[in-house]
A = this chain, B = another copy of it.
Amino acid sequence: MTKHTIILQPSGSRGQVDEGMSVRSAARELGVEIESICAENATCGKCMVLIEEGRFEKYNIDSKQSNLSPVSAEERAYLERRPKLLKEKGWQIGQVRLSCQCKILGDVLINVPEESRGNKQIVRKSASNRPIEIKPAVRKYLVTMTPPNLERPIADWERLAKGLETSMRLVHGNDAVLPRWYDLDIDYQCLRTLSKTLRDSKWNVTVSVWKDKEVIAVQGGYHEESYGAAVDIGSTTVALYLCNLRTGELLAAESEMNPQIVYGEDVMSRIQYAIEHPDGLEKLHKAIISTLNKLLSKAIISANMSLRVQVAKQAPVEGEGIASDKEQERPRNDIRLEDILEMVLVGNSTMHHILLNLHPKDLGLAPFVPAIHKSVDIKARELGLHINLSGNIHVLPTIASFVGADTSAMILAEEPHKQDENWLLIDVGTNAELVLGNRKRLVCTSTPTGPALEGAHVEYGMRAAPGAMERVHIDEATLEPKYKVIGVEGWNTDHAEFKGQVKGICGSAIIDAVAELFRTGIVDSRGKFNKKLSSTSSPKGKRVREGESGWEFVIAWSEETSIGRDIPITQQDVRQIQLAKAALFTAARTLLKRSGMENPDKVILAGGFGSFIDKEKAMLIGLIPDCDLNNVYAVGNSAGDGARIALLSIEKRNEIDAVTRKVERFELPTDPEFQNQFMLATSFPHMSEPFEHIAHLIPNRVADPLAKNFMK
């Protein structure tokens, strides 16, 4: 058979292919995937390519002498339905071709534009910064059938399944491992409306297939997009991300307070509530389900609003694409709840259990065992979630009683299991989860840190909100503080007049303040106030005083506040931070020790907390292990990112399933040295660790018999 050379840009792939092969098939042979969802029927336009050479040189485009087969009637019909696109891009019919239709008759140079490339990727901000290849669990296929007649009265499902098998093979290639038509399945609720849909649409439908084996939606006509939702159920906040499953695009992000908060502030009190009340679990479960349904509706509305804005900007184009009469009635691009075909959910083990209506009792009682580790796929209707009636939900695996599906999502997003270096991932909340390791081994644990790091249980603590102090600096020489307030530009000292503007102190400012008190010698390494300062008549000591509940340092005088009172950091506040940071550090140290390591190569702080704290000050108080500060990263809502990645990639789901089966769990209370380590870790930054990377900040004047240990 005659062979011709084909070169594909921008990848530069080239090779010899048989004459007569379609450009799309030839590209696949060379490892370049070109999109197509219409089973190569010249109706979806996903596979458009630009002919760079091999057409213009010598031959007329419609001539039989061209290096490509002439533009067919179907191809021309499709392209003529997209005048706006062609005009915008400056493409002419013949230069732009449908690669499923044009056959190779001579050497050609082809450009595959970005939108036609298969294996789309999204690039995320993360410590690993790897692009994620989009391979959603739900894929769409256009299936066109010949209607049944008396000679071939084959049933509706079998007719569809045979057509679907053909479409799937065309899209995936003949060498793909796909089920035969008689092994394909259809969800029962989807089967119920199948016959009507096939007839209403004149046997021309778009079929959504889950994991390339179960049909979960059949829509009349041609529908390109499918949608999914990724959800991170936090104890405090529930965040939902509505995504386009084909492109990976984020269409809306919505969040709500977790309504379970009325039954208990933290997970332990919710577990307690479920234990003590016969209908406790039911109430907690119904609360989260109804919030999820609310978030779904909100996300749909906001996605449609922004889509309408986009559509309004474009001139309407008559007759682009194919759609059944009925479909054309509703505004183009409008997304409905039934268009959401899958949801991926993550959350800590307690949130995970309550979501699935599993009793969380044993999560809170020794030996602290979840009901299930492995990821769960169930029909959304089993939980009363109002997405497509046949849509599935996927819940990521849990690792331990206090290391939940949110940590699995964090691992998926940050990928410590693909590193040669040792990475330490920390997700700080009321409870901190820690994961340490590399491609060979991952170990994890969790520790209660208390709410101090989030600004609660601190005398003037508050959540990060307008009026909250978020940064604190203390001048070494004068011991005068300055601070930044959320909602106010610059430092307080930048303002000529700064009055009545501070309400309290949020988490990041508390860490700043404690670190600064230590750095400037106002508190010593054991966290005790230097009372001597107050007895000096120098102005340096005027902010150190004995208050109602013990010694304290005033950061804001009453006139600077909106509450009419001085805002100090108290001895009690310092103690709270000491306990929290000691817990976190000891957990990290235990993991490091068990893995035979000194310090991690990288520290990754996940969660809202990590995004706002000052890395240097966190290390100065010994919150995180010693490490080059350039290798400390704050990655934001990593659990939410992981949920989105799992939503967009079936391979990533398999990956995290496999990884979590191998993660080793350590329960801290079983570690004999825990108490001892914990005591050493209450000091700033630590009683017995050098902390080389911030050594220059550690004050040299502490009246501490163990000071020599600090400085070596």
Contacts and interface: CB of A to CB of B under 8 A. Distances in A.
A400 B153 contact: yes
A362 B150 contact: no
A634 to B, nearest CB: 31
When all copies of this chain in the complex are counted, the total is 2
Interface string A361-401: 11000111111111010100010000000000000001011
A570 to B, nearest CB: 36
A93 B370 CA distance: 44
Interface string A140-179: 0000000011110111111000000000000000000000
A57 to B, nearest CB: 53
B670 A369 contact: no
Nearest to A670: B150
A359 interface: yes
B157 A374 contact: yes
B156 A369 contact: yes
A367 B149 contact: yes
Contacts of A373: 154-155, 157-158
A148 B369 contact: yes
A359 B156 CA distance: 12
Interface in A581-599: none
A195 B665 CA distance: 21
A661 B158 CA distance: 10
A194 interface: yes
Nearest to A349: B155
Interface string A653-665: 0000100010001
A261 interface: no
B182 A661 contact: yes
A192 interface: yes
A157 B372 contact: yes
A371 B155 contact: yes
6 contacts: A150-B366, A153-B665, A157-B374, A158-B373, A186-B372, A195-B361
Interface of A: 148-151, 153-158, 182, 186, 188-189, 191-192, 194-196, 199, 356-359, 361-362, 366-374, 376, 378, 382, 398, 400-401, 657, 661, 665, 667, 669-670
Given A148-B369, A158-B373, 18 more contacts: A150-B366, A150-B367, A150-B669, A153-B401, A155-B370, A155-B373, A156-B362, A156-B369, A156-B370, A157-B371, A157-B374, A188-B356, A188-B382, A189-B382, A191-B356, A191-B376, A192-B356, A195-B369
- A-B pairs, top 5 by smallest CB distance, nearest first, are A157-B372, A155-B370, A155-B373, A188-B378, A148-B369
